[in-house]
Chains A and B, each alone.
Chain A
Amino acid sequence: MTRVLGRFWTYARVVRKQLARNPRRTVLTFLGLVLSFFLYTGLSSVLATLNQLLEQSASETVLVLGPRNDVGGLFRPELPRSYLPTVRETQGVVAASPVRVYFAEGRRESMPVIAALGIESETFFSIHRPPSVTDDELRALRGERTAALVGQPVLEANGWKVGDKITLRPPGGIGAPLNVHLVGDIAGDDRRVGAAVLVNIDYLEDVAGDAGRTTFIQARIARAEFAGSLSQRIDEIFTNFSVPTSTTSEKAHMANVLSSLSEAFGALRAIGYLALAVTVLVVGNSVSMSIRERTVEIGTLRALGFSKTWVFGMVMGEAVLVSILGSVVGTLAAFGLLASMQEGQGLPITLVVQSRILLEVIPLSIPVGMLASLQPVVAAVRMPIANALRYAG
Chain B
Amino acid sequence: MIRPPISIVYAWRNVLARKASTLVTTLGIAVSVTVFIVINATADGVSRVAVSSGSPRNVLVLASGATSAELSYLDTATLNRIRFVPGLERDANGDSLASVELVLPVAMSRASAGKKTGSARFETLRGVTPQSFAVHDGVRLETGRFPQAGGEVIIGTLVAGQLGVGIGSEISAGNQVYRISGTFDAAGQVFAGEVWAPLDSLQSSSGRRGASAVVLRLPQEDQTEAMVQALKASPGINVSPRTEQAYYREIQVVAGPFAALGNFTGSLLGLGAVLAGMNTLYAAMSRRTRELGTLRALGFSRYFVGGVMLLESLVVGVIGGLSGSGLALYFDGFALNLLGLSFVLSMPLATVAQGFSLALLIGVLGGVLPAYAALRLEISQALRQA
Interface residues of A (CB under 8 A from B): 24-25, 28-29, 31-32, 35-36, 38-39, 66-73, 75-76, 78, 103, 105-106, 109-113, 171-174, 246, 256-257, 259-264, 267, 271, 274-275, 278-279, 281-282, 284-286, 288-289, 292-293, 393
Contact = CB atoms under 8 A, between A and B. Distances in A.
Given A75-B208, A285-B280, 15 more contacts: A31-B275, A32-B279, A38-B268, A66-B175, A70-B207, A71-B175, A76-B208, A105-B65, A172-B65, A172-B73, A256-B122, A260-B122, A260-B340, A278-B269, A278-B272
Contacts of A39: 265, 268-269
Contacts of B329: none
Interface in B51-83: 63-67, 71-75, 78
B287 A393 contact: yes
B1 interface: no
Interface in B311-355: 336-340
Interface string B153-196: 00000000000000000000111100000000000000000000
B305 interface: no
A70 B206 contact: yes
A278 B28 contact: yes
A105 B174 contact: no
B64 A105 contact: yes
B64 A285 contact: no
Contacts of A106: 65
A29 B340 CA distance: 41
11 contacts: A28-B279, A70-B175, A71-B174, A76-B207, A172-B75, A174-B73, A278-B269, A278-B273, A282-B279, A285-B276, A285-B279
B338 A263 contact: yes
A334 to B, nearest CB: 11
B279 A25 contact: yes
B352 to A, nearest CB: 19
Given A71-B104, A172-B75, A259-B121, A288 B175 contact: no
| CB-CB nearest 5 A-B residue pairs | A172-B63, A71-B174, A105-B65, A289-B283, A285-B24
Given A113-B65, A263-B337, A282-B24, A70 B174 contact: yes
Interface string B272-292: 110110111011001100000
A45 to B, nearest CB: 14
B21 interface: yes
Contacts of B74: 172, 174
Given A172-B74, A279-B272, A71 B24 contact: no
Interface string B76-120: 001000000000000000000000000011110000000000011
A255 to B, nearest CB: 9
B385 to A, nearest CB: 12
A78 B175 CA distance: 14
B71 A113 contact: yes
B72 A171 contact: yes
Interface in B184-216: 202, 205-208, 210
A41 to B, nearest CB: 12
Interface string B125-147: 10000000000000000000000
B278 A172 contact: no
B175 A284 contact: no
A288 B272 contact: no
Contact of B78 (A110, A174, A259): A174
B298 interface: no
Central interface residue in A274, A275, A278, A288, by most chain B CB within 10 Å: A278
A69 B114 CA distance: 13
Nearest to B38: A267
A109 B65 contact: yes
Nearest to A261: B339
Contacts of A103: 71, 73
B271 interface: yes
Contacts of A174: 63, 73-75, 78, 210
B340 to A, nearest CB: 5
B306 to A, nearest CB: 18
A375 B207 CA distance: 67
Contacts of A256: 107, 120, 122
Contacts, number: 172
Interface of B: 20-21, 24-25, 27-28, 31, 35, 39, 63-67, 71-75, 78, 104-107, 119-122, 125, 173-176, 202, 205-208, 210, 238-240, 265, 268-269, 271-273, 275-276, 278-280, 282-283, 286-287, 336-340
Contacts of A36: 272
B175 A259 contact: no
A24 to B, nearest CB: 6
Contacts of B64: 105, 109, 171-173
A289 B21 contact: yes
A299 B273 CA distance: 32
Contacts of B271: 35
Contacts of B206: 70-73, 76
Given A70-B207, A171-B64, A288 B104 contact: no
Central interface residue in B73, B119, B336, by most chain A CB within 10 Å: B73
B122 A271 contact: no
A285 B336 CA distance: 36
Contacts of B269: 35, 39, 274-275, 278
Nearest to B71: A113
A173 B20 contact: no
A261 B279 CA distance: 39
Nearest to B66: A171
B286 to A, nearest CB: 8
Contacts of B35: 271, 274
Contacts of B238: 172-173
Contacts of A73: 206-207
A71 B27 contact: no
A60 to B, nearest CB: 17
Nearest to A39: B268
A185 B341 CA distance: 35
B295 to A, nearest CB: 18
Central interface residue in B39, B63, B208, B283, by most chain A CB within 10 Å: B283
A67 B175 CA distance: 8
Contact of B173 (A32, A71, A271): A71
Contacts of A286: 279
Contacts of B207: 70, 73, 76, 78
A106 B340 CA distance: 25
Contacts of B27: 278, 281
B174 A271 contact: no
Nearest to B42: A267
A49 to B, nearest CB: 14
A111 B65 contact: yes
B24 A28 contact: no
Nearest to B120: A256
B279 A29 contact: yes
Nearest to B276: A282
Contact of A284 (B24, B119, B173, B174): B24
Contacts of B66: 113, 171-172
